[in-house]
Structure 1
Amino acid sequence: MIDFLLTLFTLKKKKRTGWTLHGIETPESIADHIFGTTFLAFLLANETYDVEKCIKLALVHDIHEAILGDLPSSRVSKGKKRKKEEQSFEILLSTLEIKKETIQELWFEYFLRKSKEAKFVRDMDKIEMIFQAFLYAKNYVEHGKDISQLNLDEFFNSAKEELSTSIGKKMFKTIKREFTLLD
């Protein structure tokens, strides 16, 4: 248990690679991202979804990054990335004695998008990403900096392609509109 937690808690210090590659000075940690995704899932899940399940899926969705780190899709093929994520998850899980099966079931449900909740949480993962992009852009504008240097459109474009729920698509439009107003 202690080894699992020691590894898991490294997520508090590991930075999200996409932001680092885009020159963000103080990028969010992976744990920050998991918190944001979890809170969005809790806040936006309607009666269509099992809210408790959404929260649990969001909590475990990126825990493999405690081993792997945040591996951006632009750096490796989708197939290789999935394999590395799965291997990292198995390594992390090997250090856990309690709730192992529950965490494994949740992670694979999310990973394979087996349920409507998993698809919804995947959308919240993407919404958290673009909301974070909006926050970085807003901070740049407030400090008199030019946000075009950040090239954040890449994040919005990738999110838009992957969204599958009406809630995710609606939130995307709202955040994108606010982002556009910053220019």
Structure 2
Amino acid sequence: MLELFLELGNLKRFPRAGWLLRGVPNPESVAEHGYRVALITLFLADELKARGIEIDVEKALKIALLHDVGEARITDIPMPAQKYFDKVGGEVRALEDMLRVTGRAEEYLGLFREYEAELSLEGRLVKFVDRLEMLVQAFEYERAGVRNLDEFWGTVDKLRKSELYEYFKDIVEGLVEMRGKLFREGSYGSK
């Protein structure tokens, strides 16, 4: 497993490619993104549970932690390039190879598939959080003065179509409002 642990270190070194392509200086790494996805997943899963929704928080956290592990081997392929590659298939093959040493590869692959295909509430939650976290990061970059990130905000429509939107509408719309205020007040790039 030591080799796996060392390879997972790539996630700390690989920048998120979408930000890199948009000229974001020193963009977040895949690991930084994954860490915040895991934290947000914990908080939102616990919130769902508190509202009486049956959700397996441990399973959701496992999915969150695993959702980008394949990128340690295949890197973060930006959205424009993904139409030329089978990114999901590549991630599955990478995960099969990487996770074999754990003795739980099938379980972990199953969790990854639940995320990718949104097959379970836990998988759908992590997909929702993955998108939400990207928007939080986009807002932070815009607040710091990065321009030309409008294309990322199209993801708001996907969040609004999610079954989870009704529970977390205030978070999604709060973020959209904060962005609008940032641009209306001209404080773009001042924080």
User: Could you say which TM-score interval applies, normalised by the shorter chain?
Assistant: 0.7 to 0.9
Matched residue, 1:53: 59
8 Å CA contact 2:96, 2:105 repeated in 1 = no
Q: Give the secondary-structure state (helix, strand or coil) at the position aligned to 1:182.
A: helix
Structure 2 letter corresponding to 1:179: R
Alpha-carbon separation, structure 2, partners of 1:39 and 1:78: 32
TM-score, normalised with respect to structure 2:
0.83
Are residue 39 (structure 1) and residue 44 (structure 2) matched? no
Corresponding residue number in structure 2 for 1:3: 3
The 1-side partners of 2:143 and 2:68 are apart by 26
Shift of residue 181, structure 1, vs aligned partner = 1.1
**1:22-101 map, 5 Å:** 22-45=22-45, 46-47=48-49, 48=53, 49-77=55-83, 80-94=86-100, 96-101=101-106
Task: Report the counterpart of residue 175 of structure 2 in structure 1.
Answer: 175
Contact 2:95/2:105, CA 8 A, preserved across alignment: no
Deviation at 1:29, TM superposition (A): 0.4
Structure ranking higher on relative contact order (CA contacts 8 Å, 6+ apart): 1
**Over aligned residue pairs, what C-alpha RMSD do you find?**
1.8
Equivalent position amino acid for 1:25 in 2 = P
Compute the displacement of 1:20 (Å): 0.4
List, as ranges, runs of 4+ consecutive aligned residues in structure 1 with deviation greater than 3 Å: 167-170
Give 5+ residue unaligned stretches, structure 2. 184-191
Deviation of the 1:169 alpha carbon: 4.6
Percent of pairs identical after alignment?
33
The residue that corresponds to 1:121 in the other structure is 126
Separation in structure 2 between the aligned mates of residue 55 and residue 97 of structure 1, nearest angstrom? 18
The one-letter code matched in structure 2 to 1:34 is G
Aligned residues: 173
Report SS of the residue matched to 1:114: coil
Within 1, Cα distance between the matches of 2:91 and 2:31?
16
Task: Give the letter aligned to residue 18 of structure 1.
Answer: G
Specify the SS of the correspondent of 2:69.
coil
